[in-house]
Amino acid sequence: MTDSWEHFAHDADIGVRGFGATMAEAFENAAVALTAVVTEPASVAPEVAVELACAAPDRELLLAEWLNALVYEMATRRMLFRRFRVQLGVDSLRATAWGESLDVARHQPAAEVKGATLTALSVGQLAGGRWCAQCVVDV
């Protein structure tokens, strides 16, 4: 675990959890945890910016939509992402993700994330005011 993200065990899948001083920062760090399912985030160069947007009726579903938007971009662009900037609206999210093309030899992908699930889906403030955003991803 780092102080900003961690993985948690869940049967055959993997839980991703992001922490932050704000809900947007927790979403950003959940995205780093998503990348860490595939490869070491530090091995990804933040060379190319990709803009993303999504919407959902509540913050939990918005987290799942955000992570699924990243999974889609990773798959269709054959990219990995390292750095994220998230701006949250009432029921929407606009973000920039920075990354690079997948290099199998250098990134040595450990798993392919198929998508974020509703399992253990939670977004809220912890004691002390830090935010936590988490869900299980299907690998």
Residue with tokens 């990709």: 50
What is d(CA 23, CA 57) in angstroms, rounded to the nearest whole number?
16
- Residue 2: pLDDT band with limits 50, 70, 90: low
Residue-wise pLDDT for 13-26, tens only, equals 999 999 999 999 99
How is residue 87 written in tokens?
Answer: 């701006």
Domain 8-138 fold: Archease, Possible Chaperone; Chain: A; domain 1 (3.55.10)
DSSP state letters, 8-40:
EEETTEEEEEEEESSHHHHHHHHHHHHHHHHS-
Which H or E element spans position 92? strand 92-101
Residue-wise pLDDT for 87-130, tens only, equals 999 999 999 999 999 999 999 999 999 999 999 999 999 999 99
pLDDT at 138 over 60: yes
Write down the domain spans for the chain: 8-138
